[in-house]
């Protein structure tokens, strides 16, 4: 009888021991810097890496952050496969128990070497960008290319992974780490959606002749000539006109010192460039009050309604097109979109991406922002 009582006592103690074990968490025996890396910096970098790799997987072309010569389809496939492997390796690191991580390790042993190769390619891209920048006397409106940003991030993230794997946490009764707040999760979800939207958007050029093409202004050089970004937009509009796909070209931008002065006059600078490329004067429409995207769209829609034009194509940089499309749709106009022509450098402008990252939701939810005065 005593043995039966002892057995019942042991059986009742077993669940409590298992429950106690389930409450145990990693307690890291390391200096404060190691704990900071393990608890704060490492998870934050992992979260950014999760967003980046998922974006690379779903995007069709990797040209927004890396330049690799060769067939675009094969390059996209190889880069997406590498990103998928890193994504699986990253997710496996958070799986418990650790046996699942060890099971995948033999299949993913090549991933760190592949990441080092990608970082080396990004370093070569960075060198090429700055050589191009010096050769054109700084004729680019940004100084830090996307390849440098992504390369530094991948390098820092990989170093953090190596350092964290060298640390030796052990199971002890410790309080669980705090999770993300609801606001942080919503903010992360919005950030993820924004990056996917901006990097996966593709232009929709006009399949037939339309009445108007709108070129959105950009930086003008001190010698009153278009900068690299603006030249790309103008080349795209001129190509559409020469192919007979547009009837008029609206050059919308800002005249910083008034429309009578040539200095920092975006529409006038664009008009001179178009005339030099054999676009007739009667085909040009100058909008000197295109101070921002909403002003330019408003003036384009007003011109369309005045001249009974039903179709329009917006010409701008790739990252700018989603905001332009949203603004046109708010005026009940569905525009065609044409990305600017890029020759020497195809990667995305980091500043432009961050700006659109904020501007797209602002334009979408706040229709009164930058609203023109009637």
Q: Could you tell me the pTM of the whole model?
A: 0.69
Per-residue pLDDT at 285: 95
Contact (CB, 8 A) for 329 and 311: no
Per-residue pLDDT at 367: 81
Tens digit of pLDDT at every position of the chain (374 positions): 445 555 444 444 444 544 444 444 445 555 667 677 777 888 888 888 887 887 787 766 677 788 887 777 788 888 889 988 888 887 776 655 455 556 666 777 788 899 999 999 999 999 988 888 887 665 666 788 889 999 999 999 999 888 877 775 544 444 444 445 555 655 666 666 666 555 556 678 899 999 999 999 988 888 888 888 888 899 999 999 999 999 999 999 988 777 767 678 999 999 999 999 999 999 999 999 998 999 999 999 999 999 999 999 999 988 888 899 999 999 999 999 998 866 556 677 788 777 887 888 888 888 877 777 65
First to last CA, the chain: 95
Per-residue pLDDT at 310: 92
Per-residue pLDDT at 181: 54
Per-residue pLDDT at 278: 93
Per-residue pLDDT at 149: 93
Strand 210-216 to 246-252 pairing: parallel
Per-residue pLDDT at 109: 79
Per-residue pLDDT at 195: 60
Domains of the chain and CATH, by start:
23-200 (no CATH), 210-365 (3.40.50.620)
Per-residue pLDDT at 274: 96
């Amino acid at each position: 009888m005593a043995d039966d009582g002892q057995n019942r006592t042991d059986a009742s103690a077993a669940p409590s021991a298992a429950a106690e074990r389930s409450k145990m968490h990693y307690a890291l025996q390391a200096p404060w810097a190691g704990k900071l890396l393990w608890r704060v910096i490492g998870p934050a970098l992992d979260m950014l890496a999760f967003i980046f790799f998922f974006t690379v997987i779903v995007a069709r072309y990797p040209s927004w952050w890396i330049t690799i010569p060769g067939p675009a389809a094969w390059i996209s496939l190889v880069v997406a496969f590498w990103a998928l492997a890193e994504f699986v390796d990253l997710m496996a690191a958070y799986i418990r128990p650790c046996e699942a991580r060890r099971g995948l390790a033999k299949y993913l042993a090549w991933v760190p070497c592949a990441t080092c190769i990608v970082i080396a390619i990004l370093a070569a891209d960075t060198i090429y960008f700055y050589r191009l920048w010096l050769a054109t006397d700084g004729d680019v409106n940004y100084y830090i290319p996307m390849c440098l940003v992504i390369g530094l991030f991948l390098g820092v993230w990989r170093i953090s992974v190596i350092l964290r794997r060298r640390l030796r946490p052990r199971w002890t009764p410790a309080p669980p780490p705090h999770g993300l707040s609801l606001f942080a999760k919503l903010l992360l979800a919005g950030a993820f959606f924004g990056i996917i939207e901006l990097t996966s958007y593709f232009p929709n050029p006009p399949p037939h002749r339309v009445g108007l093409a709108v070129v959105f202004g950009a930086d003008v050089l001190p010698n009153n000539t278009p900068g690299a970004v603006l030249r790309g937009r103008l080349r795209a509009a001129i190509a559409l006109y020469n192919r007979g796909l547009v009837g008029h070209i609206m050059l919308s931008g800002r005249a910083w010192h008034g429309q009578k002065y040539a200095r920092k006059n975006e529409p006038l600078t664009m008009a001179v460039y178009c005339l030099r490329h054999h676009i007739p004067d009667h085909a040009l429409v100058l909008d000197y009050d295109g101070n921002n995207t909403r002003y330019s769209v408003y003036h384009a829609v007003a011109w369309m309604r005045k001249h009974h034009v039903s179709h329009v194509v917006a010409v701008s940089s790739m990252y700018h097109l989603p905001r332009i499309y949203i603004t046109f749709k708010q005026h009940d106009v569905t525009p065609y979109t044409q990305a600017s022509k890029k020759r020497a450098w195809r990667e995305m402008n980091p500043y432009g991406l961050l700006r659109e990252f904020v501007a797209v939701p602002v334009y979408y939810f706040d229709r009164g922002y930058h609203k023109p005065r009637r």
